Homo-oligomer: A and B are copies of this chain.
Amino acid sequence: MEPNASNSMQPDHCLEITPMEVHKVVPPPHRSTIQKLKSRFKETFFPDDPLRQFKGQPLGKKWILAAQYFFPILQWGPNYSFRLFKSDIVSGLTIASLAIPQGISYAKLASLPPIVGLYSSFVPPLVYAVLGSSRDLAVGPVSIASLILGSMLKQEVSPTTDPLLFLQLAFSSTFFAGLFQASLGLLRLGFIIDFLSKATLIGFMAGAAIIVSLQQLKSLLGITHFTEQMELVPVLSSVFHNTNEWSWQTALMGFCFLVFLLLARHVSMKNPKLFWVSAGAPLVSVILSTILVFAFKGQRHGISVIGKLQEGLNPPSWNMLHFRGSYLGLVVKTGLVTGIISLTEGIAVARTFAALKNYQVDGNKEMMATGLMNVIGSVISCYVTAGGFSRSAVNHNAGAKTAVSNIIMSVTVMVTLLFILPLFQYTPNVVLGAIIVTAVIGLIDIPAACQIWKIDKFDFIVMLCAFFGVILVSVQDGLAIAVGISIFKILLQVTRPKTVVLGNIPGTDIFRNLHHYKEAMRIPGFFILSIEAPVNFANTTYLKERILRWIDEYETEEDTKRQSSIHFLILDLSAVSSIDTSGVSLLKDLRKALENTGAELVLVNPVGEVLEKLQRADDVCDVMSPDALYLTVGEAVAALSSTMKGRSSSHV
C-alpha cells in the first residue's frame, strides 16, 4: 500500500479484492422469436409438461398413456386387488353414513329440496371415480358452494314462492359451473384459482361458517318466519324479533344433538383412530331423532320434519336448463363463483392428501374431472358438487385406497334412494341444522389465523377483510373484496419495487444491503443499488424518482465527505428478471440524468432476456457502453476504481 493512502479518493479497502481477470457479460445463446414465444408459452400454460411421459414411446403405448391420462381409472384399475377392496368398502360405507345426512342438510342450506342433495351424492361420485386422479377425495355436495349457490340465486328468485324456477336456476348454475371448471382445465388456466390466497380462504371460510351457522338458528330454534337474507345483522334481528316463535321442544332437541355431535367430533379429533365416532354420529343422530319424533308424535309439539320424499333415482333435468332469457346472467355469474370456490376447495383437499401419501395430483386434470362431473350432474338433477374437506378426511382416516370408496358410497346412496327414503319422513329439521353447524365449525381455523398474524400482517388484514366482508356485506362481495385486495397488493409490489443500497462486506467481494448488514461499508465514489423486481411501465417513473432521490440524499448527507462525490452509479440487475420498452427508456434517462452530474451509469449482471433487449435497443438508444457492463459488483468496483485512481492522479 502506498504511503499516501489517506487520500480518500482512493478506495483503500477495495484493494483487498484480488485483482482477477474481469469476466465478460456475454449475450445468451441466440434463439428466434418463435422459439422464445414457444418456450414462454410452454412455461406459462404447460409448466407441468404433461406430454413428458409420451416422449420416445411407440404409438400403441402412446394411445394407452393418453387413455390413462384422461381416465385415471385405467391406470390403477388393472392392479386393483381384493386387499384394496376390503379397505375401500370400509371407507366407502363410512363416508356414505356421513354423505346421506350431509346431502339432505346441504341441499336445505342451498334452499333446494332435500332429495336433490341425495341425487347429488349418487351420480357425481361415480363420474369422479372414473375421471379423478385423487385417491382420497370424497365427492358430494359441499357446504360453502351450497351456501353461495343459495344466497346468490335468492337475490333474484324466492325459493318459497317459485320453487320450480329456483330449482331450474340451480341446475343451470351447476351446468355453467361445470362448463367453467372444465374450460379452465382444458385451457390450462388453472392458475386462476391461485389468486385465492390462503389468507383469503381462511377468512372467507370462517365468515361463511358463521353465516351458515346463523342460518341454522331457524331450524335449531324452530322459527317459522325467518328472513331470506344471509348477513349477520338481518339474521340476528330476525331471530330476536321472533322470540314468540321459538319452540322450546325444538331448541332442547337441537341443543342435545348439537352437544352429542360436537362431542363426537371432539373425540375423533383427539384420537384420529376413532374417526368412526364423528363419521357415524350424524347418521346415529338422524336415526335416533327420527325414532324420537315418530314415537312422541313430535310434529304435534311443533317440531318440523322433512316430510315425504319421493322414492326413485335421479330424474333427468336437461329440459330444466336455462340457456337464454332474463336469468342467464344470474346463472352464469352464480356458476362462475360457485365453480371457482368449489374447485379451490376440491383441489386444495386433493393436494393435501396427495402430499400425505406422496403421489401427484394434476390441477388441470382435476378441473376437467370436476367440470365434467358437474356438467353431467346438471342434466340428471344434481347441483354443484366437489371434494369436501371433512368428508375426504374421514375417507382418508377410514383407510380409503382408491376412488372405489366413492363407488361404494354412491351404491349405498342409490340403495337409500330406492328403498329407505320413506323412513326419513319423520326426520326433524332441527337435527339437520345441528349436523350442518358441526360440519362447518371445523372451517373456522383460529390457529392458522394466529400464524398468519405472526408471519405477515398484511395477509392478516386481507383475511379480516374477507371475514367481515362475508358476515357483514355478502358472501360474494366479501370474497371479491379479499381477492381485490390481494391483487392490489401484488400490483402495489410491482409499482413500488424495492431498491437496496449495497455495501461491501470488508475482506470479501460480497456486496449486501447496507441497512441490513451493519458491517457492510460504502465504497467512496461509488453508489451501488440493487433493483429487486422486473422493470416495466408500471414502475419506471417511480424507479427513476427513487434512484435520483437516493443519490440526492447521499450527496446531502452530513457525514459524507465532500471529496467523495459519486463517480459511478452501479445498478445490480441480477434480480431484474425482465424489462420492457419503458424499462429500457428508464436506463437511457438515468444515464442522461447522471451525465449532468458528472457520474457514470454501470450495469451489473443483466440476465439473458434483459441483456438481449438492452442490446437490441443499443443502436437506437445508446444504453450500454461496453465498458459499463460487468458480471459482478466486485469486478465492476475493482475495475472502475483503478480507472478512477488513474483519472484522479492525472488531474493532480
Closest to A541 in B: B194
Verify A23–B191 contact, CB threshold 8 A. Answer: no
Copies in the complex: 2
Given A29-B518, A541-B363, A580 and B194 contact (CB-CB distance below 8 Å): no
Chain B residues whose CB sits within 8 angstroms of the CB of A451 once the complex forms: 581, 617, 620
Chain B residues whose CB sits within 8 angstroms of the CB of A500 once the complex forms: 607
Verify A532–B577 contact, CB threshold 8 A. Answer: yes
Encode A471-514 as 1/0 by CB contact (under 8 A) with B: 00000000000000011001111111110100001001010110
Chain B residues whose CB sits within 8 angstroms of the CB of A582 once the complex forms: 197-199
Verify A199–B541 contact, CB threshold 8 A. Answer: no
A545 within 8 A of partner (CB): yes
Verify A459–B542 contact, CB threshold 8 A. Answer: no
Quick check: which of A44-52, A90-98, A279-287 contacts chain B, the rest being far away? A44-52
Verify B454–A44 contact, CB threshold 8 A. Answer: no
Chain B residues whose CB sits within 8 angstroms of the CB of A43 once the complex forms: 496
Closest Cβ–Cβ distance, residue A505 to chain B (whole Å):
7
Verify B492–A487 contact, CB threshold 8 A. Answer: no
Verify A577–B23 contact, CB threshold 8 A. Answer: no
Chain B residues whose CB sits within 8 angstroms of the CB of A459 once the complex forms: 580-581
Contact of A505 among B23, B580, B596 (CB under 8 A): B23
Given A194-B541, A542-B191, A23 and B510 contact (CB-CB distance below 8 Å): yes
Verify A26–B574 contact, CB threshold 8 A. Answer: no
Closest Cβ–Cβ distance, residue A21 to chain B (whole Å):
8
By size class, the interface of chain A is 35 or more
Verify A194–B496 contact, CB threshold 8 A. Answer: no
Query: With the chains together, A616 CA to B457 CA distance in Å?
Result: 12
Closest Cβ–Cβ distance, residue A575 to chain B (whole Å):
3
Verify B455–A584 contact, CB threshold 8 A. Answer: yes
Given A455-B616, A617-B451, A581 and B198 contact (CB-CB distance below 8 Å): yes
A248 within 8 A of partner (CB): no
Given A29-B518, A534-B493, A617 and B454 contact (CB-CB distance below 8 Å): yes
6 closest A-B pairs by CB: A197-B537, A575-B575, A532-B577, A28-B516, A516-B608, A498-B577
A-B contacts, 11 listed (Cβ < 8 Å): A48-B549, A49-B549, A195-B538, A197-B582, A199-B537, A455-B584, A456-B613, A459-B581, A516-B607, A532-B575, A574-B575
Query: 20 other contacts beyond A23-B510, A28-B515, A451-B581, with CB at 8 A cut-off?
Result: A26-B516, A28-B513, A29-B515, A44-B496, A47-B542, A47-B546, A49-B549, A199-B581, A199-B582, A355-B592, A454-B617, A456-B580, A456-B581, A458-B580, A486-B537, A487-B491, A497-B577, A498-B607, A533-B533, A533-B534
Interface residues of A (CB under 8 A from B): 20, 23, 26, 28-29, 33, 37, 43-44, 47-49, 191, 194-200, 355, 358, 363, 451-452, 454-459, 486-487, 490-498, 500, 505, 508, 510, 512-513, 515-518, 532-534, 536-542, 545-546, 549, 574-575, 577-578, 580-582, 584-585, 589, 592-593, 596, 605, 607-608, 613, 616-617, 620, 631-632
